[in-house]
Each structure stands twice: as structure tokens, then as C-alpha cells.
Amino acid sequence: MKLTLQQKIGQMMIVGFQTTNKEDAVELIKKYNFGNIILFTRNITSAEQLKSMTEAIQEAALKYNNGIPAFIALDQEGGSIRRIYSGVSNVPGHMAIGAASNKYPEVAYQIGSIVGKELKVLGINCNLAPVADINTNPFNPIIGIRAFSSNPMLVEKLANDYARGLQENGVLAVYKHFIGHGDVNIDSHLDLPHLSKSKVELLAEELIPYKNEIRSDAVMPAHILYDQLDDRFPVSTSEKLLKGLLREELGYEGLIISDCFEMDALQRAFSLGEAAVFAVNATMDIVMVSHSFGKQLMVRNDLLKAAKSGAIKKSVIDESLKRILKAKEIYTKEKKLIFGYEKNQEKALKYSLASVTLASGEIFPIDQNTVVVGVTNFLNSVAEDANVENMDIAKILGEEFNIAYRSIDNKNFNVNEILNFCKGKKVILGLTDSHLTLIQKVLYSNLIQSNQEVMLISLRTPYDVLGQDLPACHLCVYEYTKLSVASLIQVLRGKKAEGILPVDVETKINYGEQTDIKNYIIRDVIGYLEANFRKKLSLGFVAEEHYVSASHLSRLFKKETNMNFVEYLTMIRIDYAKKMLQTSQLKIYEVASLSGFTDVNYFTKVFKRIIGSTPLEYRNNYGYFD
């Protein structure tokens, strides 16, 4: 196929625009030969308008790009991350899918199929989903409920199933965010996250969804600097990580589509044009510039200049074009699909109900001695839309059960007023990621310490209990949507909560008869040990980190846990080693290193003393030894 250089570079970009006017998208294609378009809520008013827009985009693409259709993409993950609000089914998001997967193993495939069919009918042929990140860091500000789980094996299965559901219905699935965005504590929309993990550590967790044959024909790299693997280039621009690790070592042959190049993580490291050239040379196929026309033009012109000067070789461009055209041959074809929105919504409701999780305790009867306090919905991150559903859990439950209620803002309310309102009552408390919001955390802590019966509803992640005593009842719904709240009400009215916790919310590991740790210093130290057990740790060092003497910490530790410091740290390390032996094929010495043991012989000796078998024997027979 004969293309001009301008048309070739256009195929290697995906751009957005600011209006609901389809002619603005047509103009980008006509004047600049952009080959792909990304849409946001700002572009969509209805399903009918969206269908008209996608038809106009494809007509322009065929006319001005030598008969090559466009990829038309958006983020329709489900739950609170979606761009289309009307004319499509409201389906559970990823973490809710993870919670429902215990009862319905097919849930991810079914949700992927629903989303794929409905998008395809509207002219969308690329969905920037599934999220294949492992949410190992509870304090992650951008992934959270967008991840299926903190268990890499479960994420691998569910991401694979979700992608298969999309692609069987003619929509390109895009795994994101390679290598993994689940363990950062900085939002890459705002700054460049750094992760200092070895390849062995990444192979044991973040890379598990990418190690085997994946169902997705596209991958989106993260704007994250993995400084042990490449200390200069973030993944999205790194030849070592895209060409070297993803393509050559892991054998990936599909498309690589960038996250938006306007994100501050990348702009703080490079100029946009410079970053785009690095990315294309690293085998990035499609560079995304989602918002600003000036920046889109800058990237396009710099790529053209690099191609003309030889800074990007012709062979690199031709290889990318080959991959792009191969994918378009599959996913831009029309597909006859038969489905009904009512049937799709019935499935979505079934899976949503199955995701509601009783994490601890028992649901108490709701009567006139019960009050409800809840955070109103809000824009939780820049990944969500300004069109987030306007929800008020306190008002909804108050009116549903005819009980008194108080609605609170997520970051601005008077704790004492709420405590007085709740005094002497049973309390239903709806929180949203209170572990990240001090005032919510203070409210929860005060209610628990007042010895009142509290039914905690975690409206987003289940991490509200981190570092806190457990309530009388803890229910998790994983997203603040009309669908999840309707499912919650069914459970409160007697339906069984059948979901499982898809992420680890323990702040401590309880061994032997130890069931509760009341001393706040020891709680903090245990949290520190669980986060840092791979490092070389000593009682003196940890004591200094927590501003206490080593002797005082030693006495407190023994009193609270019935173990000394070294015994407890060893048990954390052995517990992690067991997990790695069960879920990975890492060599024994690699498991030892990842678990904090510098000597494999010592690791084997300690493991056998505690577990009763060698690590190899345990791997082969772990069900027996547990």
C-alpha cells in the first residue's frame, strides 16, 4: 500500500479533540492525516450522536488516508471508569469482577463480551482495557479499584478473559499499564513515579499477566521509571523495556499503544517531540496525544522531522505500520452482532450482586435505633470522568430504610457533629478510601473507640480498615455507582453476600494465638516489616526508624505478639516464600532472595524447621504441608 510519509506518521498517532462536533475530528484527519482518534465524555452526548460521529470519522479516514480505516478508542473499563453513560449497559468494574469471580469464574469474559458488543455497534473498535496491573500497594492513588486483584495469578486469568470477550466481538483490547502501575504511590498524570524493583521481583508479580500468551493484541506501557532496569527512560520510551523485555524476551508481537504523552510524568522528563522519537525507536507503534492540538502538531512534526533526517529509520516505521495494518485488518471490519441490552443488564446486575463482599463480622438488623452516615460521590482521580454519577449513599439508605442520615463531604466535615449524631446508635458508615483521607480515618477511629456497633460500607477499595480495629461488620462494594448501591441494598435486605476480597487488606500477620495488637507502635512496626521485609533489617535499625529504643521495642514486641522481633520477621518472610512457591515457577534461590534471605542454604534450613519440609518439597506438595 502506497502511503506518503505524512500518512505513515499519521497512522502512528492517536489524537483527541475537545468538542462534540464530528467535523472537528474530520478536520484533524483531512488536514493532518491523523490515523486514529480517542474519544472522551466531552465528545459524547448520546449513543445516537456517538454512532454518527464514528461513521463520520471512518468516512474521513478512508477518504484521506488512502483507504485505511481508523482505530476509534476510548476507556470503557466498567464501574466508575467509563466514557459512555447512555445507550450502553452499566457493568461492574475490574475489582468488582475480581470479587465476583469466586462464584462466577466466567464473569470477566462475560463482561468483556458485553462491553465489546455494545462498543462495536456504536463504531468503537478499540477499548483501552483491561487493566492488567497488580494492586499490591494499598496507597496507590490511581489504580485501586481499576485492578482486578492483588493476586497476580487472578489478574492474569481475569485480564485474559476480559480481553478475549472484547476481541471476539471485534474490539481491540489493550492491556495496561506495562510493566505494572499497581505498586506506585504517585499518579503518573501528575508526576513521574519511580519503582526500584529487580527483574526477578517483577517476574514474580507485575509481569505475570504478560509472561504467558496473552489474549490482547495491544499493550499500553506505563510512564514509570524502573530504575534497576533502565535508570534514564520511563517504560513508555525505553528501548530496553519495550524492544528488549516486552518484544524480545517475552515474545510479544502485537501493537504497543502509548498512554497519553501529555501526562506530567513524561513532560517532566523530556520534551514531547523528543519523547515521541525515543518511543518510536523503542518499537512503540502508536503515540497518543489526547487533548491539545498544539502538542499533537508538535509531536507529529517532530516525528516527521526525525523520519526525514534518519533519526527514526525507515525500517522502524515500516515494521510499526505492518503491525498497525494487521490489527486494523481484524478490528476495523464490520461485525454482525446479536444481543439485547436488557439481557446484558440482567447479567451485569447478577455479577454486581455476586461481588458484594462480607469481609468481616455479621450484618446487623437495621431498625429505628440505626443511623447512616456516608460520603457523597466525588471525582476520585483524573482517570475518572467529570460525569461521575451523582450519588449520596447516606440519603439513599436513609430513605430506603426510613432511618436518620447525615451526608458528608469526603474531606470537609465536622467530626464532633457526626459523633454527636451517632451517639447511642447503631451506625452504618459509608466511606471512600478513608486510608488516604485523614478526616474520614479520624471519624472511623472515633466511632470504633466509642464501642458503638458500626457497619462499615467500603464504597471503593476495601482498605478503609488498614491500621484500624475491625467494625462489627465490614461490607465491600468496590465502586460508587448506581449498580453497586442497588446490589448493596439487596444484601442489606437479606440477599447473601457472596463476593470474596480480591485484594489483601491485612495490616498484620497473626501467628499462633495472636489475634489482636493494640499498641500503636507495634502496629506501625508490623506494617513497616511487611512493607520492607526484603531488606536487611535489624531490631536497632527499625527501632531508630520508629523513634524508640531497641530494648523498649523488644519488650513491646514480645508482649504484644508473643514472639521476639527476629521470629516475627522470619515468619513474615517464610509466609511470603510460601506464596511464591505456590504461585510461581521461580528458582528456589530466587524465592529466597525475594523473601529477604541472602543465603539459600540458610533459607532452606529455616524453611524446613518452620514448615516441616524443604522449599522444593513444599512446592510439590504444599496442600499437604498447609
Catalytic residues: 189, 259
Could you give the CA distance from residue 324 to residue 285 in angstroms, rounded to a whole number? 7
Cell triple for residue 580?
511464591
Question: Which amino acid would we find at residue 317?
Answer: I
Order of strands, sheet of 454-458, starting from the edge strand that comes earlier in the sequence: 357-361, 473-476, 454-458, 426-431, 370-375, 404-408
User: How does 113-150 read in b/e, with b if 16+ C-beta sit within 10 Å?
Assistant: bbbbbbbbbbbbbbbbbbbbbbbbbbebbbbbbbbbbb
Kindly state the DSSP code that residue 599 receives in the 8-state scheme. Answer: -
Q: Is 66 left (phi over 0), alpha (psi -120 to 50) or beta?
A: left
Residue type, 14: I
Q: Is the dihedral of CA 586, 588, 590, 593 positive or negative?
A: positive
Residues 6+ apart with CB under 8 A from 134: 147, 149, 150, 151, 152, 155, 180, 182, 183, 205, 206, 208, 209
Cα–Cα nearest to 352, from 451, 465, 495: 495
Whether 181 and 224 have beta carbons less than 8 Å apart is answered as yes
The 3-class secondary structure across 27-65, one letter per residue, is: HHHHHHCCCEEECCHHHCCCHHHHHHHHHHHHHHHHHHC
Residue carrying C-alpha cell 497518543:
288
Residue 219's nearest CA partner among 286, 270, 265 is 286
Residues 6+ positions from 435 with CB-CB distance below 8 Å: 138, 139, 441, 461, 463, 464, 466, 467
Contact 162, 173 (CB under 8 A): yes
User: What cell does 286 get?
Assistant: 502508536
Contacts of 578 (CB under 8 A, 6+ apart): 611, 618, 622, 626
Q: How many CB atoms lie within 10 A of CB 79?
A: 26
* Exposure of 71 in the CB half-sphere (CA atoms within 13 A): 32
CA distances from 61 to 54, 397, 409, 533 (A): 10, 50, 46, 54
